[in-house]
Structures are given as structure tokens and as C-alpha cells.
Amino acid sequence: MQQHTILKGQVLSFTRSPFDGDPNDAAQLDEAVLIRDGHIVTSGPLANLQKAAPDAKITDMGDALITAGFVDAHVHYPQTAMIASWGKRLIDWLNTYTFPEEMRFSDLAYATDIANRYFDLTLANGTTTAASYCTIHPASVDAFFTAAQSRGLRALAGKTCMDRNAPDGLCDTAQSAYDDSKLLLHKWRGVNRLSYMITPRFSPTSTPDQLSAMGALWAEHPECLMQTHLSEQTDEIAWVKSLFPQARDYLDTYEEHGLLGKGSLYGHAIYLEDRERDRLREVGASLIHCPTSNTFIGSGLFNTAARITEGQIVGLATDTGGGSSFSMLRTMAAAYEIGQLTGTALHPAQLYWLATMGSAQSLHLSDKIGNISPGIEADLIALDLGSTPAIVQRSARASDIWEALFPTIMMGDDRAIKQVWIKGNPMP
């Protein structure tokens, strides 16, 4: 028997990208949304939905804004416990904080504790899908996927592969990276709502042989996504040039080893050369903007508007724990601030689209998550647009939904998340 639920509130759904044309009319507001067996049926006037499903249970969220849950396209869940670690550039930060913490993930019990902590924190902040790097340890992948599976979440992850320029306890080999990744891929790919991602950390920590091994695995399993890092900091780029003196540019270190194509995701991608931008656009790769990380570690300013205008696919991410927050609201606020510094004040509709449909598109999941439209999985959140006195007094002056939403984007936190639903089921 099919189970129907109606959620009543202000239901926001995108009808197109707000980067195409006037962002003010890129979405519609409805009174309610009808859910059946974990999927969106339709949205519209409450009376119409009640006629369509007279047996439906109605949950009234008052004037809360009901939207798709947030989609975080680039995270490092093993860095949960060391988020907000003070004062280092990328390479020093990895050596001082990240690598010592990641050493602990050979212990399944520890990895399980952190994975559960990570999902508790992100669900409280309205994130319903995340794409994560794990560590080199297969146990870290098992822990992440098991924690996601127990909550019914759609989640993506992969074993991080490194065979140089890292502590001995965090190095695998080209062969073991291939073997472990392949075993994990077959173990978890397509189980429930889980997706395996092929995950070389970045070129400085992988030899050419390991990059080639990962490229070979991806060629064998092109249905998988491939995630890595690209052009995050200027000193990192100089390091890559010294390690790969024959490469045309940073992207070429991936391209030459079969790690560029549709389904590839590159975190940061701040300092791109013309050839790199052309190739990324040609193949339909995804660039993942990590604004709080880029400012926290002092990496630089990603120009969202310019990249989208030139035809790049762009997602949005917290980059936990280089990023300084688990909240996609805070991430949107940082993206707005960086937009101001790069010459474009991103519209609230554009920011919210990036955190939902844009990130879903970057993960090739826009047919499953990221919006409220027929057939999409009902991973939803209800936002309280008056969660603090400061937000209330500002939103009271709003003349439209975007002006009402923007103070929550800029000043909101987990208090703004009134309810989360995973496939139509309310989360505690």
C-alpha cells in the first residue's frame, strides 16, 4: 500500500537555474507538497493535494520554508574532530593537523564514532547528502557508509589514495590503492542510496603510477565519479610543477593519467589557466567551490559568477574540516562575501540553488535530489525564517521571499533548521 504525506508551509522549488535570466523568477512558491513512498509527487494548493490523496497525513509547518535538503559536494568527514584548527597554510595544515588525525582511522571503532558524529552534526544543519573523502583505511569507508545507511541517507565517498609525501602510516601503494578501492567499490556501489567515488587525494601525494592505477580503475568503472583537488593554493601549484615538470599545468597531471572526464569533481579550482578552464568545460567536469575553507586556510577567491558564465558546472561545499563550519547556510554566506570581493553580488536564489540543485548537478544526482519536483527523492528541510531576534527584525521588512530568506542565509545556523525529512521520513 502506498503511503502519502502532505507537508504544508511555504514550499520552494526551482523551475530553472537562477544563473539563466532573472534570478527573482527562477523558483515558485506553493502551499504544500505531496509525498508518496519517499518521493515527491507534486506541489501546489493544499486543497488540490488533499483531493489527489485524501488518505494523506498532513504535517503543518506553519510559515516555515520547505525546500530540498542541502547537498554538500566536498567534505572530509575524518577531519570532523579537528575542524577550526588554528593558523596554517595548506601543506603545513595537512602535516600538523590532518595527517595525525587521519592516522587514527585504521581503528574501525574510532572511525565509526566520528562518522556518526559527522552525520549528527550535518543533519542538524540541514545537510541531507554529502560527498566525502575518507582516509587510506578501508575501515574509514565502511564506517562512513554504514553510518549513512543506518540513517537512510544518500551519500557518496571513497578511500583516499596517497603513496608519497605523507606519513608512512598514511601511505598505500599504487597496487594496494587499486585493489582496496576496487574491493570497496564492489562492496558499496549501489547499495541502498550509496555511491562509491574514486579518490586520489591530489597529485602531490600520488606518484604517477598511482594516478595511472586510479585512472585505470575509473576506466573500468566509468559509472563512478572521481574526486580530487585542483589549484587550491599558489604554493601547492608550484609544488605540483616541481613534482611533474613535464606537465602542461596542474590539470594535466590528472589528464595524462586518465583522471579527467565527465564525472570528475575538482575541489577548489581557484587558480585555473585558460587551457585548464577550456578542458574542464569541454569534458563537463565539476568545480566544487569551498568558500569557508578558501578563506580559513587563506587559499584565495573562487569566482563563481565567472566560472558559471563561461559554462562550468559548479557545486558548493563546506570542505569540513578545512572549512570552518558544518553549515551550508554559513557556506552560502561565505560564497556571497567572496562574490562581493570578486565583483558579483550573488542573488539569494543563486546561493540557495548552489547549495541544493547546483551541488546535486555537480554530483550527477539532479534526477534524484536537490529540488522539489515530481519523482525526486523527498530529502527535505523546513527553515524557520525567524530563528533569532536579529533575523526576525530584518526579515519583518522583507517584500518577497528572497528578501525574507537572505537574512537566514547570512546570519542563520542550526537553529534555523526546524525539521529534516529523509525520503519523507522526519528525522528526530
Query: What CA–CA distance (Å, rounded) separates 20 from 28?
Result: 15
Quick one: 168 and 312 in the same domain?
A: yes
Specify the pLDDT at position 90.
83
Domain boundary among 328, 362, 396: 362
Quick one: 112 and 182 in the same domain?
A: yes
Alpha helices in 323-400 (DSSP H): 328-341, 348-353, 359-362, 389-395
* Structure-block grid coordinates of residue 291: 568558500
Q: How far is CA 180 from CA 23, 46, 75, 103, 394, in A?
A: 45, 51, 21, 17, 52
Mapped onto helix, strand or coil, the DSSP state of residue 180 is helix
- The set of residues, in sequence order, having a beta carbon less than 8 Å from that of 291 and lying 6+ positions away, is 302, 316, 323, 331, 334, 335, 337, 338
Query: Quick check: 359 and 332 in contact, CB under 8 A?
Result: no
Q: Is the pLDDT of residue 160 over 60?
A: yes
Range of the structural domain that residue 266 is part of: 70-362
Average pLDDT of the chain is: 97
How many CB atoms sit inside 10 A of residue 164's CB?
12
pLDDT tens per residue, range 239-272: 999 999 999 999 999 999 999 999 999 999 999 9
Quick one: 259 and 398 in the same domain?
A: no
Quick one: 190 and 57 in the same domain?
A: no
Quick one: 419 and 344 in the same domain?
A: no
Query: What CA–CA distance (Å, rounded) separates 400 from 59?
Result: 24
Mean pLDDT across 371-396? 97
Q: Is the pLDDT of residue 232 over 70?
A: yes
Q: CATH number of the domain at 323, please.
A: 3.20.20.140
How many CB atoms sit inside 10 A of residue 109's CB?
8
Quote helix, strand, coil % in the chain, to nearest 5: 45, 25, 35
Query: What CA–CA distance (Å, rounded) separates 103 from 111?
Result: 10
DSSP state of 377: B
Quick one: 338 and 294 in the same domain?
A: yes
Name the domain count of the chain.
2
- Which letter, b or e, does each residue of 404-420 get, where b requires 16 or more Cβ atoms within 10 Å of its Cβ? bbbbbbbbbbbebbbbb
Quick one: 35 and 117 in the same domain?
A: no
Quick one: 291 and 410 in the same domain?
A: no
Query: Quick check: 126 and 70 in contact, CB under 8 A?
Result: yes
* Structure-block grid coordinates of residue 36: 508518496
Mean pLDDT across 115-121? 98
Specify the pLDDT at position 89.
83
Query: What CA–CA distance (Å, rounded) separates 162 from 170?
Result: 7
Mean pLDDT across 79-87? 93
- Residue count of the chain, please give it: 428
Query: What CA–CA distance (Å, rounded) separates 30 from 70?
Result: 19
Query: Quick check: 270 and 299 in contact, CB under 8 A?
Result: yes
Mean pLDDT across 398-405? 97
Mapped onto helix, strand or coil, the DSSP state of residue 42 is strand
Confidence band (pLDDT; 50, 70, 90) for 93? Answer: confident
Mean pLDDT across 139-148? 98
Quick one: 241 and 376 in the same domain?
A: no
Query: What CA–CA distance (Å, rounded) separates 141 from 318?
Result: 19
pLDDT tens per residue, range 270-289: 999 999 999 999 999 999 99
Domain boundary among 344, 362, 380: 362
Burial-class residue 55 by CB neighbours within 10 Å (0-12, 13-18, 19+). exposed
| Helices and strands (H and E) in the chain: how many | 17, 16
Q: Which residue has the cell 569540513?
A: 320
**What is the distance in angstroms between the CA of the first residue and the CA of the last residue of the chain?**
25
Express as a percent the part of the chain with pLDDT over 90: 97
Q: Is the pLDDT of residue 2 over 70?
A: no
Express as a percent the part of the chain with pLDDT over 70: 100
Mean pLDDT across 343-366? 98
pLDDT tens per residue, range 48-67: 999 999 999 999 999 999 99
In which element (H, E) is residue 50 found?
helix 46-52
Quick one: 261 and 310 in the same domain?
A: yes
Quick one: 20 and 155 in the same domain?
A: no
Domain boundary among 362, 382, 411: 362
Q: Is the pLDDT of residue 1 over 60?
A: no
Mapped onto helix, strand or coil, the DSSP state of residue 200 is strand
Quick one: 238 and 297 in the same domain?
A: yes
Q: CATH number of the domain at 60, please.
A: 2.30.40.10
pTM above 0.95, yes or no: yes
Mean pLDDT across 202-231? 98
Query: Quick check: 375 and 368 in contact, CB under 8 A?
Result: no
Alpha helices in 263-400 (DSSP H): 274-283, 291-296, 304-309, 328-341, 348-353, 359-362, 389-395
Query: Quick check: 48 and 11 in contact, CB under 8 A?
Result: no
